Amino acid sequence: MTRKNKPKKIQKKTLRKTTKDTEKIKDLAKKKKIVFADTTRVAYLSLFVDEVLEAIKGVCGIDPAFVSDESMVGDFTRGDEDEARKIGVALEVSVSEDDYIVDVAQRIKDDRG
């Protein structure tokens, strides 16, 4: 076997380290669970939440993939209060970055009676 064809020691060390890191991650995954926030109100107000998400998409250019009862307008406006205001204009309700999306949806529902 020529020197060219011999595996490098650094590759073996890297492989061992990667394997150890992978095992650590697997162990942590067994011990910890990902817990998502509740979506009860999102489900109840789904038609109005969809309107809020469409307004966010139109103003911010972001298409939210997952929204929970704890999702806020500010999660999608990148700290721009003007974007929150524009979302409010599009929805014809008051909106700020600190508003929960489900609260904005509830305002829309309440305004329409």
Chain centroid to Cα 59, Å, comes to 17
Tell me 113's DSSP state.
Answer: -
Mean pLDDT, 10 residues at a time, the chain of 113 residues:
54 58 72 75 93 95 86 90 95 95 96 86
What's the pLDDT at 64? 79
Mention every residue, 6+ apart, whose C-beta is less than 8 A from residue 62. 56, 76
Cβ count near 70 (within 10 Å): 15
105 within 8 A of 96, measured Cβ to Cβ? no
| Residue 26 pLDDT | 74
User: Rounded to an integer, what distance in angstroms lies between the CA atom of residue 92 and that of residue 86?
Assistant: 10
Q: Please give the pLDDT value at position 99.
A: 96
- From residue 40, give the alpha-carbon distance in Å to each of 21, 35, 85, 88, 111: 37, 15, 26, 23, 21
Residues 6+ apart with CB under 8 A from 74: 84, 97, 98
